[in-house]
Amino acid sequence: MGLTILGAFARLIPHPPNFAPVGGMSLFAGSRLRGWQAYLVPVLLMVVTDPLRVALFHPGFPAFSSSTPFIYASLLINVWIGRRWLQTPNARRIAGAAFFGSLQFFLITNLAAFFWEASYPPTAAGLIACYVAAIPFYGRSLASDLFYSGLLFSLHAWTRRVASSKWVLATK
């Protein structure tokens, strides 16, 4: 629950476009939470904060779109990536998972935008134009996934180390 509240706070404070904690939090949740709770973190976070973000920053726009299921599904894939790749995390695995998670998010959500939002002609050239236009957003998503996953896994390792050293001191 604390992870979801922290993520909600981070999504609701002003931040650069596509620089949000949800991708990194999804990887972390997949790695560290058991069972269905890991999959609940990004879905609950998004379902609660999407309408709040619209009310605060984009009044008059819809909170959900035809791309929303694809966005949420991509975040659930990130949980799965965290579960499979980050059971024993290290810097290289975390970076690889963040890269792969950002890449699949980019590919899936922009394919959904191409098919459902009618901003591009329904041709191969339109699909290419859709992906090319999204490249700057991918850079920010990748940077945020690297940053937030690195931060969450580092904080987790640090708190475990501190708790372990306090336990060792208490038993001496």
Using alpha carbons, list the distances in angstroms from residue 9 to 33, 62, 91, 158, 170: 20, 21, 26, 22, 35
Q: Tokens 């939002």 label which residue?
A: 117
The range of the structural domain enclosing residue 137 comes to 20-161
d(CA 73, CA 142): 18
Residue 66 is assigned to a structural domain of this protein: yes
Both tokens of 50, joined, read 């999407």
* pTM (predicted TM-score): 0.88
Both tokens of 163, joined, read 């708790």
pLDDT single digits (tens) 115-141? 988 889 999 999 999 999 999 999 999
Residue 127 is assigned to a structural domain of this protein: yes
The CATH number that applies at residue 142 is: 1.10.1760
**What pLDDT band is residue 170 in, cutting at 50, 70 and 90?**
low
d(CA 78, CA 25): 9
N-to-C CA span, the chain:
34
Residue 116 is assigned to a structural domain of this protein: yes
